[in-house]
Amino acid sequence: MADDPVEWLQLYRSRRVGAATFWRLLRTHGSAGAALAALPEMAAAAGVTDYAICPVGVARAELRAGARAGARLILGNDPDYPLHLRGIPDAPPVLWALGDIALLRKPAVALIGARNASSLGIRMAAQLAGDLGAAGLAVVSGLARGIDAAAHRAALSTGTIAVLGTGIDRSYPNENTALAREIATQGLLLSELPPGAEAQARHFPARNRIVSGLSRAVVVVEAAVKSGSLLTARDALDQGRDVMAVPGHPLDARAGGCNLLLRDGALLVRDAHDVREALSIDAPPPQAALALSAPLSLADPSARILAQISASPVPEHVLRDTLGIDARSLSLALIDLELDGAIHRPSSGLVALGRQRA
């Protein structure tokens, strides 16, 4: 039986059910419907006597609102759900998506940084985003002013993903409303929040773990010592992602966070080549930018596998379903990659980048 999106929304929107709790309930009870049925008794056992699950009408209203916005709901076990994101412990059970879903299958790099960015920071973000996009990478950011907005604009023509701290039909700040519309047309907007949700401070730390979770690496272009960008970098480290930073002048407070990351072991980034080299991504041929959306050949799955995995282990069956490769072809490709040292298998059924690549 297919999963019921109404039940998934009811479960995730119910009080005291966060992402990690959602997945634990799903594993324990086998389905969202069974977990919903068990929730009141579980709450009572925990001493909560007035517990009520999210009403079915609220979930159905959310589906209607998403449809009005032209968005698509992607459940956490959907083949289109991004593979990298699925591997983090608190992966969002649901995502609202507006735009080009195919971007979720491209290898991605996050570019983040200061909202009150310097002119040099803005130029650096735009140059990195443009060059990484031309190399075939999706550029991920959070649609904030400053570095985020510069990265999105520079990667509009090659593919950019904006993760929102609002509902899929809202944008924040207001000055980026036109940019959000362009991304919805040429790129992809994502949100785990219900349509209509307005910006609240507590939404943005949760948004940040999706930015890093989607990406093979997080590049901090400009950031103060105490900033949301450093929290995203911490999420990236917890998720097994590469963390990189652009150095800045020691007397510029906007560079303090980047310099701190570099002191603590982040990879120094001077240009897109540094990022590509760290991720073992070759520069594209001159005509590649004209065919970035073309699917990779199924005849040689090795490159596609490497583009989809990181240091964070991924189940083989998830890799197979996401790439659409039959079990035998996947197994043969994994054996070759393991013999070359490009991947390793930390335990049965799991695949991660080889230690020299991770």
Q: What is the DSSP string of 141-155?
A: E---TTHHHHHHHHT
- Distance, in Å, from the CA atom of 164 to the CA atom of 63, rounded to the nearest integer, reads 18
Residue 286 confidence (pLDDT):
47
Q: pLDDT-derived band of residue 297, with 50, 70 and 90 as boundaries?
A: very low
Contact 5, 73 (CB under 8 A): yes
Q: C-alpha angle with apex 145: 144 to 147, nearest 5 degrees?
A: 90
Q: pLDDT-derived band of residue 303, with 50, 70 and 90 as boundaries?
A: confident
- Distance, in Å, from the CA atom of 314 to the CA atom of 253, rounded to the nearest integer, reads 38
Sheet bearing 314-315, strands edge to edge? 314-315, 350-353, 343-344
Residue 283 confidence (pLDDT):
60
Lowest mean pLDDT across 81-90, 126-135, 240-249, 342-351: 342-351
How would you classify the pairing of strands 217-222 and 188-191?
unpaired
Q: pLDDT-derived band of residue 310, with 50, 70 and 90 as boundaries?
A: confident
pLDDT 10s digits, 204-233 = 999 999 999 999 999 999 999 989 999 999
List b or e across 220-231, with b for residues whose CB sees 16 or more CB atoms inside 10 angstroms.
bbbbbeebbbbb
Residue 239 confidence (pLDDT):
93
User: Which contiguous run of DSSP H or E holds residue 351?
Assistant: strand 350-353
Closest CA to 4 of 41, 47, 35: 35
Q: pLDDT-derived band of residue 329, with 50, 70 and 90 as boundaries?
A: confident
Q: In whole angstroms, what separates CA 249 from the centre of its chain?
A: 30
